[in-house]
Amino acid sequence: MNKTILEKNVSTFKEDPRYKQCNKEALYGVILGIANMIWWYVLGYGLGSKPVEEYTYILGFPSWFFYSCILGAVVFIALTFIIVDKGFKNMPLDRMTEEEAEVYERQHNKEGA
């Protein structure tokens, strides 16, 4: 392959400005998933490691199950709604021209500042 063509392609490549927001949203999802696993593990195994005779019950469920599975589901569903509402942005996903990308960057740089 001709080196000058390759250099030209590298120098003229412009990354889609929406990738930055998409990466941020993906990171939110990963953090939320890891936090959910930690919650579930700590409460499930932490409270559930006692002898069965010492269990306390909430609404007929052992406390370890109630806190790790039932309350955890409610908390993380609520957190998901909050994160989507506050951290995600509505943006078009169809192909952009270079001019549209520049306008998009200008608009979102003003909002972020």
Tell the residue number behind the tokens 């569903």, with chain if given: 77
**Long-range pairs of 71-80 with CB within 8 A, sequence gap ≥ 24:** 72/36, 72/39, 72/40, 72/43, 75/39, 76/32, 76/35, 76/36, 76/39, 79/32, 79/35, 80/32
Place of tokens 């990171």: 27
**Strand residue runs (E) in the chain:** 57-58, 61-62
Residues 21-54 have pLDDT tens digits of 889 999 999 999 999 999 999 998 888 888 888 8
Domain ranges of the chain: 17-112
Q: What phi and psi, each to the nearest 5 degrees, are found at residue 15?
A: -70, 145
pLDDT tens-digit series, residues 49-103: 888 888 899 999 999 999 999 999 999 999 999 999 999 988 877 887 778 878 8
Specify the pLDDT at position 10: 59
How is residue 71 annotated by DSSP? I
